[in-house]
């Protein structure tokens, strides 16, 4: 009985708006006013649905890791049985990821980790896990390649990918994206020898 709750949807909307603000203004610059404005909601609704500033931050962090884990799972699942490496690069440097704030949020969290040791450890693991996932895909395509080289290539591909997403906010970065993708492919091809 009573009015149906929409807390789940509202929370998602608020966290989406918060992510946009974090990507644009950073953690400390993402004020509740800006988040409310971005979400098109009254500021009091942020408190009603999520809580205060710290609660909002904590919710963002938890959702970030959940979403990140799911994205990696989906990414791997989208790969074919054969020729996984080039398809991986296709997906990573697809223009559809153009407006994606995930990497920007990650960088904001890394900055905020400066005085949050526990978060710093989680972000380090997050990077390691991502590189490891890329490395696993590469190992599948190049089972004879040396481990050290696979790790290096996976790190390089990850770096190029993160960088593209970092700079994507500028807009009109099609050349950079194309050249980055070509570089990633060249790097992967060094595992063929």
Partner DNA sequence: TCTTTTATTATCAAAATTGATAATTTACAG
Partner DNA sequence: CTGTAAATTATCAATTTTGATAATAAAAGA
Query: What does the alpha-carbon distance between residue 44 and residue 161 come to, in Å, rounded to a whole number?
Result: 38
- Which of 5, 77, 80, 193 binds DNA (CB under 7 A)? It is 5
Residues whose CB falls within 8 Å of the CB of residue 2, separated by 6 or more in sequence, listed in order: none
Write the DSSP symbol of residue 4: P
- Indicate the helix (H) or strand (E) that contains 45: helix 43-49
Phi, psi of 157 (to 5 degrees): -60, -45
- In this complex, which beta carbon is closest to a second copy, that of residue 69 or of residue 182? 182
By CB under 7 A, is residue 58 in contact with DNA?
no
CB of 94 to DNA, least distance (A): 35
By CB under 7 A, is residue 116 in contact with DNA?
no
Nearest residue to 181 (alpha-carbon basis) of 160, 165, 156: 160
Q: How many CA atoms lie within 13 A of 78 on its CB side?
A: 13
167 touches, from a second copy, DNA, none (C-beta below 5 to 8 Å by class): a second copy
- Which of 26, 45, 90, 152 binds DNA (CB under 7 A)? It is 45
Residue found by looking up tokens 């900055």 in the block: 111
CB of 93 to a second copy, least distance (A): 11
- Which of 61, 85, 89, 104 binds a second copy (CB under 8 A)? It is 104
How would you write 107-122 as a 3-class SS string? HHHHHHHHHCHHHHHH
Query: Which residues 153-182 are close enough to bind a second copy by CB under 8 A?
Result: 153-160, 162-164, 166-167, 169-173, 176, 179-180, 182
Which window, 45-53, 132-140, 145-153, 156-164, contacts DNA (CB under 7 A)? Answer: 45-53
**Token pair for 28:** 């400390």
Contact status, residue 157 vs residue 58, Cβ threshold 8 Å:
no
Q: How many CA atoms lie within 13 A of 69 on its CB side?
A: 8
- Which of 10, 63, 97, 122 binds DNA (CB under 7 A)? It is 10
* Residues near a second copy (CB under 8 A): 23-29, 104, 107-108, 110-111, 113-114, 120, 123-124, 127, 131, 148-149, 151-160, 162-164, 166-167, 169-173, 176, 179-180, 182-184, 186-187, 189-190
* Residues near DNA (CB under 7 A): 1-7, 10, 31-34, 41-45, 47-49, 52-54
């Amino acid at each position: 009985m009573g009015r149906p709750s929409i807390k789940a949807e509202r929370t998602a909307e608020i966290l989406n708006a918060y992510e946009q603000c974090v990507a644009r203004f950073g953690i400390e610059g993402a004020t509740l006013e800006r988040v409310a404005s971005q979400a098109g909601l009254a500021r009091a609704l942020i408190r009603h649905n999520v809580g205060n500033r710290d609660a909002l931050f904590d919710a963002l962090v938890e959702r970030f890791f959940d979403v990140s884990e799911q994205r990696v799972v989906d990414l791997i699942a989208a790969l074919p049985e054969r020729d996984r490496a080039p398809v991986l690069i296709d997906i990573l440097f697809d223009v559809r990821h153009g407006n994606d704030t995930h990497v920007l949020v990650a960088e904001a969290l890394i900055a905020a980790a400066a005085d949050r040791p526990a978060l710093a450890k989680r972000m380090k693991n997050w990077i390691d896990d991502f590189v490891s996932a890329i490395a696993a895909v590469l190992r599948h395509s190049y089972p004879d390649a040396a481990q050290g080289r696979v790790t290096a290539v996976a790190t390089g591909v990850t770096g190029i990918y993160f960088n593209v997403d970092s700079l994507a906010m500028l807009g009109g970065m099609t050349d950079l994206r194309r050249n980055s993708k070509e570089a990633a492919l060249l790097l992967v091809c060094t595992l063929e020898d």
